[in-house]
Amino acid sequence: MRAYCYKFAKGITLYPTATGNLDIQMPRTCVRHTLKGLSSGLRAALENLVSSGGTEEQLVETVTAKDGPDGIARCYYYLHLFAERQMLSYGIIDNGCPWATIEPVSSQFRFNPGPVDPGRRWILSRFACLRRETDGMVLESPLAHGMLLIHAPQATLLISALGSANTTASLQSMVPEIPRAAIELLLGMLIAGGFVDEVPEGMQEAEECTALRHWSFHELLFHTRSRSGRHQNPSGGTYRFLHKIAPFPLVKQVNATETIDLYRPDMDALIFGEELPFSLVMEERCSIREYSEQPIDARQLGEFLYRSARIKQKLFTEHQELSRRVYPAGGAIYELELYLSVHACAGVPGGYYHYCPDLHRLERIEADALLIDALLRDARSASGLEEPPQILITISARFERLFWKYESMAYSLMLKNVGTLYQTMYLVATAMDLAPCALGGGDADLFAKVAGTDYLEESSVGEFLLGRKRI
Ligand SMILES: Cc1cc2nc3c(=O)[nH]c(=O)nc-3n(C[C@H](O)[C@H](O)[C@H](O)COP(=O)(O)O)c2cc1C
């Protein structure tokens, strides 16, 4: 165990062509590279890279054994080319047993480990995350362009030891069962892969630039995994559950104890009437946290919901039931649901309701009054209100509607949808001269308790306050 073992990265396949060349098929893309005029030595080295792999020295030996010394430059040329195109993984192997491999996950992946300076101290990056994948443990980080596949528990031991700042010597005393050469290779891999940081003399933590200090672990991981670039996970509308799990229906069915049909405004009268001009609505829109003594009424609530959240048209496609609504939403899937905690609304008894966007009605849910109060209390403290809001609208997501089609970016898409709904509700409320205010952070567990939903299936992702404006 003295050097890294080179192999073709996961998913790369080689195809001999009819003209005697070799095609290299890149994983998850249609990209193929054709290698022409390969010598027999290079062909043998390529076979090694596909099967067991080899160190740089072994690969050069394989080439020169057949091509003579002329093959050395060619071998390095191709290794460099493969590395530049993220076609290689690098492993640590002890007596035929793999310990760890680093695989490229982005086009910016480069692996150039240098000798580990015995005097320097290293600590695991606070962004590094050790978890289980289908075929074993992996170490990943939103700051890294590669992913570490862990094959031996010794590698996990070393990673754990890097929970505090250590040199190679101090690591050796912490994990004496790991030979020094292996520590150096593993640490070299972690340093080159961007999984550990250097800790300066006299400090206990690595120094971070100002931009990085602002990021928390989960936010940076979410950012990198929901955007393309720093991962190779399937992303977008992949329909991974098609023919495996039935998609959630368009309209949520609620066990309502009572329903209240809501007022439907005459849209033609509004469109061709004397509504405020659009630019004025845009300019006037603001968050209002003060209410009049006289509460909002059922007619205003009906108009508000009709103009911001009703289903305008149902679309039955081959895969999923979709719809058209006033606010835009990714894939026209519309996973968001509205629940109303009514504290004060003339014509609507206080309580907890689900809004049915299809039938444009409120569906009363029997919920514990203390829990509804807790929701209203949270909203009050988030907005600095002295009184509970007249109406608290909690926006939940039926996640599976979106996750059924989209992968990697589904949650971020859902949050974007919350944004479009917020803005629509703000504008409608402004046009109606009501008091709107979005809220940023509610208790998703509390919501699930009140609404009686399964947290993983449907929980809250936003809140919105609505009331009659104080004049
Ligand atoms: C996503 C989002 C979250 C918000 N969260 C809160 C909140 O928790 N509490 C609050 O009082 N206002 C909240 N607001 C309202 C903002 O404070 C407000 O939009 C901002 O101060 C700008 O003022 P304006 O809306 O009057 O233009 C939120 C607004 C948005 C869009």
User: How far, in Å, from the CA of 437 to the mean position of ligand 1?
Assistant: 6
Percentages of the chain per state (helix, strand, coil), in multiples of 5: 35, 25, 40
Answer whether residue 129 shows pLDDT above 80: yes
Please name the residue whose Cα sits nearest to atom 29 of ligand 1.
Answer: 438
User: How far, in Å, from the CA of 162 to the mean position of ligand 1?
Assistant: 41
Please name the residue whose Cα sits nearest to atom 24 of ligand 1.
Answer: 286
pLDDT of residue 265: 97
Of ligand 1's listed atoms, the one at least distance from the Cα of 422 is 31
pLDDT of residue 1: 67
Of ligand 1's listed atoms, the one at least distance from the Cα of 426 is 25
Q: 135-173: per-residue pLDDT in tens?
A: 899 999 999 999 999 999 999 999 999 999 999 999 999
Whether 439 and 379 have beta carbons less than 8 Å apart is answered as: yes
Please name the residue whose Cα sits nearest to atom 8 of ligand 1.
Answer: 439
Which 8-state DSSP code applies to residue 469? Answer: B
Phi, psi of 283 (to 5 degrees): -70, -35
For ligand 1, mutation pick of 415, 439, 461 (most atoms within 8 Å of CB): 439
Q: 18-70: per-residue pLDDT in tens?
A: 888 989 998 877 788 898 988 999 999 999 999 999 999 999 999 999 999 99
Average pLDDT of the chain is 95
Phi, psi of 159 (to 5 degrees): -60, -40
> Which numeric CATH code is attached to 236-468?
3.40.109.10
Residues facing residue 324 across a β-bridge: 313
Provide DSSP, 41-88. HHHHHHHHHHTT-B-HHHHHHHHHHHH-TTHHHHHHHHHHHHHHTT-E
Q: 197-255: per-residue pLDDT in tens?
A: 999 999 999 999 999 999 999 999 999 999 999 999 999 999 999 999 999 999 999 99
C-alpha–C-alpha distance, residues 331 and 347, integer Å: 36
Q: How confident is the model at residue 95 (pLDDT cuts 50, 70, 90)?
A: confident
Work out the average pLDDT over 283-296.
97
Q: 362-380: per-residue pLDDT in tens?
A: 999 999 999 999 999 999 9
pLDDT of residue 46: 94
C-alpha–C-alpha distance, residues 214 and 203, integer Å: 20
> Which numeric CATH code is attached to 95-226?
3.90.930.70
Whether 57 and 2 have beta carbons less than 8 Å apart is answered as: no
Residues with CB under 6 A from ligand 1: 286-287, 382-383, 422, 437-440
For ligand 1, mutation pick of 385, 423, 437, 461 (most atoms within 8 Å of CB): 437
pLDDT of residue 210: 97
Q: 377-421: per-residue pLDDT in tens?
A: 999 999 999 889 999 999 999 999 999 999 999 999 999 999 999
C-alpha–C-alpha distance, residues 351 and 366, integer Å: 8
C-alpha–C-alpha distance, residues 72 and 252, integer Å: 67
DSSP SS3 for 146: strand
C-alpha–C-alpha distance, residues 220 and 223, integer Å: 5
